[in-house]
Amino acid sequence: MAHVFVSRRLPGSALDRLSAVHDVDVWPEPGPAPAAEFRARAADAEGLLSMLTDRIDAELIDSCPRLRAIANYAVGYDNIDVAAASARGIPVGNTPDVLTDATADLTFTLLLAAARNLPSAIETVIRGEWGPWEPARYLGYDVHGASLGIIGLGRIGQAVARRAEGFDMTVRHTGRRGGVSLATLLASSDFVSLHCPLTPETYHLIDAAALAQMRHTAILINTARGPIVDQAALTQALHAGTIAGAALDVTDPEPLPKDDPLLSAPGVIVAPHIGSATHRARERMADLAVDNLLAALDGRPMPHQVGREP
């Protein structure tokens, strides 16, 4: 029986399976554990089930001499120093596939809401400012027949492309699967949707220069990672009318401070990182994370191990 630290309570019954065979310590509070408390609880752990918001760096890994497995409750794993874990022979697992459709659905939700100025229109009703019908009020942009540029044609990017087919959109993409150049995509797209991983190469990929290449009627959607976008440049571009809007499920940092300048920019929608927030997706994520831990702690390969071919 191994000692496992789980950094947050999870939906579904996956943790019951883990607790049936291992000693499981679950952080009981709704928010993240303070850094010192996290480190103390992880110090004796043989297995660690972490959230995307938990920073598992080399220093933390070094402070856990018994650690044998890390399971991240996310598809991405940029919060983990995988090289440091690998140097210790510690496998790292993630939760691919199960949140693809949920995130693609949210991407299109944000795209549609931004295109039609839905949040601001709803707000006028709430404030009692609906007013008489006016031909030029609440105007947005057509989605049907528009052009969509997808940056990163992985599982989620492909799922978004399939949804775009139902709107007769022209889809262009850039990424490891080929496609057009970034400059061509930015210049020719009514909507630009980010689905690439966060790497040193994609950090601030969408900066002031990239935003300047976009159409002034274009809308940027980001359900990938916040630091892919230079937020200061985006805020300035929205105020200047360089682009028409942005719909973000991810920001830098998270959570975004309530006085962040981005929140007062025109044409912006910010959601609190809810791409995978459906009952089914979050429960399946828990199942996969637990499957990874159970396998590794039993001396078997993780079914979803980062850096290992299936």
Of 254, 279, 300, 308, the catalytic one is 254
pLDDT digits (tens, 9 = 90+) for 91-134: 999 999 999 999 999 999 999 999 999 999 999 999 999 989 99
Query: Which of helix, strand or coil describes residue 205?
Result: coil
pLDDT of residue 175: 79
Instruction: Look up the pTM and report it.
Output: 0.89
Of 172, 273, 282, 284, the catalytic one is 273
Within 8 A by CB and 6+ apart from 277, the residues are 102, 106
Distances, alpha carbon 157 to alpha carbons 142, 205, 221, in Å: 21, 17, 12
How far is residue 295's CA from residue 303's CA, in Å, rounded to a whole number? 7
User: 3-97+279-297: which CATH architecture?
Assistant: 3-Layer(aba) Sandwich (3.40)
Closest by alpha carbon to 269, among 251, 253, 245? Answer: 245
- In this structure, what DSSP letter does residue 253 have? S
pLDDT of residue 174: 95
Within 8 A by CB and 6+ apart from 46, the residues are 2, 3, 4, 66, 67, 68, 69, 297
> What element of type H or E holds 71?
strand 69-73
Could you tell me the residue ranges of all domains in the chain? 3-97+279-297, 100-270
Of 22, 225, 284, 304, the catalytic one is 225
**Intrachain domains 3-97+279-297 and 100-270 with the same fold:** yes
Q: Are 218 and 174 in contact (CB under 8 A)?
A: no
pLDDT of residue 310: 45
Q: Which fold has domain 100-270?
A: Rossmann fold (3.40.50)
Concerning whether 273 is annotated as a catalytic residue, the answer is: yes
Concerning whether 254 is annotated as a catalytic residue, the answer is: yes
Distances, alpha carbon 90 to alpha carbons 40, 62, 108, 276, 293, in Å: 19, 11, 37, 27, 11
pLDDT of residue 176: 79
